[in-house]
């Protein structure tokens, strides 16, 4: 493998990781808000509109913090394994 191919693989790996975490940070809170509101708070518990929205917002905030915490953990834990030196 040439140096350019290794660099391209690293760039692709970095891009996929960033895309994965960005998608989770955006989609997870939105999905958790609407799913918890529709299925749990409106459907199962039959709360009022205001209480249902507040509880769903809290659920979305918790989901956001989990996604951000996972991103921060991954950022501080470093790469999975150190790059090997090739001559």
Please tell me whether the overall predicted TM-score, pTM, comes out greater than 0.75 for this model: no
pLDDT in tens, 13-50: 888 888 999 999 999 999 999 999 999 999 999 899 99
CB 33 within 8 A of CB 60: yes
Of 79 and 75, the one with more pLDDT: 75
In the chain, what are the domain boundaries? Answer: 3-76
């Amino acid at each position: 493998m040439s140096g350019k191919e290794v660099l391209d693989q690293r760039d692709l790996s970095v891009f996929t990781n960033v895309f994965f975490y960005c998608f989770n940070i955006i989609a997870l809170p939105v999905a958790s808000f609407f799913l918890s509101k529709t299925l749990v708070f409106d459907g199962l518990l039959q709360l009022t509109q205001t209480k249902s929205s507040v509880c769903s917002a809290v659920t979305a905030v918790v989901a956001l913090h989990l996604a951000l915490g996972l991103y921060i953990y991954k950022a501080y834990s470093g790469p999975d394994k150190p790059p090997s030196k090739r001559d």
